[in-house]
Amino acid sequence: MPIRTGLDERMTQIRLDLKEYFGEAKDAYSEAIEAFTKMDSEVYDEVKSVRKHARVRNWDLSNNLLLILAINQPLMEDLRIVATYLRTVDTVERVVRHARDIARSDRSLDTLGKDIPALPDELVAPVLSMWSDLSEMIDILCKCLTEIEDVPQAKIVDSWVSVQNAHGQAIESLSTLKSAVLGGKSARLEVVNVVNRVERSAYNLVRLADLWHHALHNENIILED
């Protein structure tokens, strides 16, 4: 039998911690993307530090959620929510990891592209577009998961389609631009890494939206198709 004693208080604290976690991930990503547009290497150490802190928060949140499973033995919707929160912890940690990867590419681009004034706008613009949609997804999912609200499915789908379109534009530009305007072949690979990391971060959040809908309604949906 489920034990309600202390469950509500523990879940309230989990939600507060998750809200902070989402915020940290968004801040780290924002700095990494801004550094990409400026070919700035100085942000790497800061984002790397956030990544290290994210691992600790991941462990703490996961342990607290497992404690809830052990002590309170939640059933039905409560159990689905706890399970989704466990997945959320890993998803947000992955988003932070992607931000770290982007910052690492920023550092490489700063060195490799020292002879070029800036990255071409046909690459920077799609990445900024993807980040705009990804940032909004982070805000939406943070609110849904911490305030127990339904996922705005149409909005998530629109954002995901927009990310895919911008990703396609960036890849097309990469296929036509000469390596010299990027700082060489190695720099091209770093730009590819940035473009793909943002797209994967968005995909992971769309999958999380699927899971959150299931947690609330015990119904499977696939928004990323």
Q: How does pLDDT run across 178-214, given as a tens digit for each residue?
A: 888 888 889 899 999 999 999 999 999 999 999 999 9
Of the given ranges (40-44, 55-59, 157-161), which has the lowest mean pLDDT?
Answer: 40-44
- Given a cut of 60, whether residue 2 has pLDDT beyond it is no
Does residue 1 fall inside a structural domain?
Answer: no
- Given a cut of 70, whether residue 127 has pLDDT beyond it is yes
What is the domain-level CATH number for residue 23?
1.20.58.220
d(CA 14, CA 61): 7
Of the given ranges (5-9, 33-37, 97-101, 129-133), which has the lowest mean pLDDT?
Answer: 5-9
What would the mean pLDDT of 108-134 be, rounded to a whole number? 89
pLDDT averaged over the chain?
92
What would the mean pLDDT of 218-225 be, rounded to a whole number? 92
Does residue 21 fall inside a structural domain?
Answer: yes
pLDDT band at 3 (very low <50, low <70, confident <90, very high): low
pLDDT band at 6 (very low <50, low <70, confident <90, very high): confident
Does residue 223 fall inside a structural domain?
Answer: no
Does residue 222 fall inside a structural domain?
Answer: no
d(CA 71, CA 15): 18
- Given a cut of 80, whether residue 147 has pLDDT beyond it is yes
Number of domains the chain is built from: 1
Does residue 169 fall inside a structural domain?
Answer: yes
Residue 198 has what pLDDT? 98
Parent domain of 209: 7-217
Does residue 205 fall inside a structural domain?
Answer: yes
Residue 50 has what pLDDT? 86
Which residues have C-beta within 8 Å of that of residue 161, sequence separation ≥ 6? none
